[in-house]
């Protein structure tokens, strides 16, 4: 039996009207919205002739990743070693680690998984890391594909000059146990630029930083087969620019309030709907009559705009935090506070860390609870 509210909700699977009967707080995935967004980005990628390597940091859930693969993804990107290994143990075999590591123990765990059938891609930003991955891969009797990590403006990890990239690529290509596969260049600062033209300009700057690196690698006979990067915010720009070979979008299948103001296609119209929601219950009322719900910062990540609250499909207000376990419904003018026992569905400020707060996600289709999926990599931020 599943623990927590998921265990209480298991008996509701398949029952008519079960969405409205869920014990709370519970993380929801609206299946129809999820599938629409999944298919939309997959189709855009196919039309562009580019690949998708969706980022699992947004959901950490094997069932979601499997559906992304079934829709044509080249593989799944992961932010952390623990996250990647959890998805491998859950059955995913084509996984990329998108950040460098410094722990030999983690490197050995990764190469051991590669020896067991994981098609592993890692990134490196320094020569000693190339040597460490090579030694570990040889000891495990396996091979690991490696990308050179490039910094095109994010200011986090990666090389910035063509000479550095060439030196790393040569080291990878000559290190037994490793396969030089290309480069990664994630333009993270571009993703949440709201205005379409401003985001295009920001993406152009990132591409301008990447281009001389690619030119230098090609001149050295080290043309990258993979040029990985991009994300939900820049996907259309990346597809049209054609500099990357694949896009690492993650939030598109879930969506959150942080992405809501982004004009993805320059039309002012929404592109991806809010598939991730948190359902909460009104447990009582404050002295001034505000509805208090059973979801606070332990149910929602709070590093983003406040959630919008829906009752029976109608938007009625927002949530203000009233503690780790509680929220305060701020209803819009003219709307009465919902009564005790009312179940409310709420958007999330930031999908990635919200998924990390829950063990399970309740899959709903229409008014019916369809399934409860485990979030296998929840809490694995190592």
DSSP secondary structure, 40-72, as one string: HHHHHHHHHT-EE--BGGGT--HHHHHHHHHTT
Question: Over the stretch 187-241, which tens digit does the pLDDT of each residue have?
Answer: 999 999 999 999 999 999 999 999 999 999 999 999 999 999 999 999 999 999 9
Best CA proximity match to 121, nearest among 159, 93, 141 = 93
Q: How far apart are CA 109 and CA 85, in angstroms?
A: 8
- Residue 126 in this model has a pLDDT that exceeds 80: yes
Residues 61 and 152 in one domain: yes
> Rg (Cα) of the chain, in Å, rounded?
22
Mean local confidence (pLDDT), 23-29? 98
Q: How far apart are CA 27 and CA 13, in angstroms?
A: 15
What's the pLDDT at 260?
97
46-69: b (≥16 Cβ within 10 Å) or e: eebebbbbbbbbbbbbbbbbbbbb
Asked if residue 74 is part of any domain, the answer here is yes
Best CA proximity match to 9, nearest among 19, 23, 20 = 23
Residues 125 and 244 in one domain: yes
Mean local confidence (pLDDT), 46-65? 98
Residues 6+ apart with CB under 8 A from 339: 282, 291
Residues 283 and 217 in one domain: no
- CB distance 125 to 159 below 8 Å: yes
Residues 204 and 335 in one domain: no
- Residue 294 in this model has a pLDDT that exceeds 80: yes
Best CA proximity match to 27, nearest among 342, 355, 353, 369 = 355
Mean local confidence (pLDDT), 231-260? 97
Residues 6+ apart with CB under 8 A from 212: 162
What token pair was written down for 236? 């259309």
> Average pLDDT of the chain?
97
| Structural domain for 341, as ranges | 4-29+270-374
Residues 216 and 69 in one domain: yes
- Residue 301 in this model has a pLDDT that exceeds 90: yes
* Domain termination site, one of 226, 253, 280: 253
What's the pLDDT at 1?
75
- CB distance 60 to 378 below 8 Å: yes
Q: How far apart are CA 53 and CA 77, in angstroms?
A: 6
Q: How far apart are CA 142 and CA 118, in angstroms?
A: 10
Mean local confidence (pLDDT), 60-87? 98
Mean local confidence (pLDDT), 356-366? 98
What's the pLDDT at 2?
87
Residues 275 and 238 in one domain: no
Asked if residue 263 is part of any domain, the answer here is no
Domain CATH code at residue 369: 2.40.37.20
- Residue 71 in this model has a pLDDT that exceeds 80: yes
Question: Over the stretch 155-174, which tens digit does the pLDDT of each residue have?
Answer: 999 999 999 999 999 999 99
Residues 137 and 214 in one domain: yes
Best CA proximity match to 206, nearest among 245, 238, 181, 240 = 238
- Residue 382 in this model has a pLDDT that exceeds 90: no
Residues 9 and 40 in one domain: no
Asked if residue 292 is part of any domain, the answer here is yes
Residues 16 and 111 in one domain: no
């Amino acid at each position: 039996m599943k623990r927590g509210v998921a265990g209480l909700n298991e008996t509701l699977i398949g029952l008519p009207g079960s969405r409205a009967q869920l014990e709370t707080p519970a993380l929801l995935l609206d299946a129809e919205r999820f599938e629409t967004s999944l298919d939309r980005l997959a189709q855009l990628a196919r039309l562009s002739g580019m690949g998708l390597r969706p980022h699992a940091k947004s959901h950490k859930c094997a069932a979601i990743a499997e559906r992304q693969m079934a829709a044509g993804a080249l593989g799944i990107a992961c932010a952390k070693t623990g996250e990647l290994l959890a998805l491998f143990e859950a059955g995913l075999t084509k996984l990329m680690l998108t950040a460098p590591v410094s722990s030999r123990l983690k490197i050995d765990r990764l190469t051991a998984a590669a020896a067991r059938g994981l098609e592993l891609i890692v990134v490196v930003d320094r020569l000693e890391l190339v040597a460490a991955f090579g030694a570990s891969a040889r000891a495990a009797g396996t091979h690991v594909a490696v990308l050179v990590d490039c910094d095109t403006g994010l200011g986090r990890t990666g090389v910035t000059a063509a000479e550095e990239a060439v030196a790393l690529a040569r080291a990878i290509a000559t290190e037994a146990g490793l396969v030089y596969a290309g480069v990664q260049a994630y333009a993270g600062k571009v993703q949440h630029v709201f205005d379409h033209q401003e985001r295009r300009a920001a993406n152009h700057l990132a591409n301008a930083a990447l281009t001389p690196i690619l030119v230098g690698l090609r001149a050295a006979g080290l043309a990258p087969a993979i040029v990985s990067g991009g994300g939900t915010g820049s996907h259309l720009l990346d597809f049209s620019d054609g500099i990357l070979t694949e896009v690492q979008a993650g939030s598109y299948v879930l969506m959150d309030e942080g992405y809501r103001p982004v004009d993805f296609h320059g039309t002012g119209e929404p592109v991806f709907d809010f598939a991730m929601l948190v359902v909460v219950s009104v447990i009582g009322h404050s002295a001034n009559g505000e509805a208090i719900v059973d979801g606070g910062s332990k149910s929602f990540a709070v590093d983003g705009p406040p959630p919008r609250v829906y009752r029976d499909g109608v938007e009625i207000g927002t949530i203000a935090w009233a503690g780790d376990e509680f929220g305060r419904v701020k209803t819009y003018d003219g709307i009465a506070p919902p009564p005790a026992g009312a179940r409310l569905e709420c958007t999330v400020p930031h999908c990635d860390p919200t998924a990390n707060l829950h063990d399970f996600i309740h899959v709903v289709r229409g008014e019916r609870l369809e399934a409860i999926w485990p979030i296998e990599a929840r809490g694995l931020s190592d």
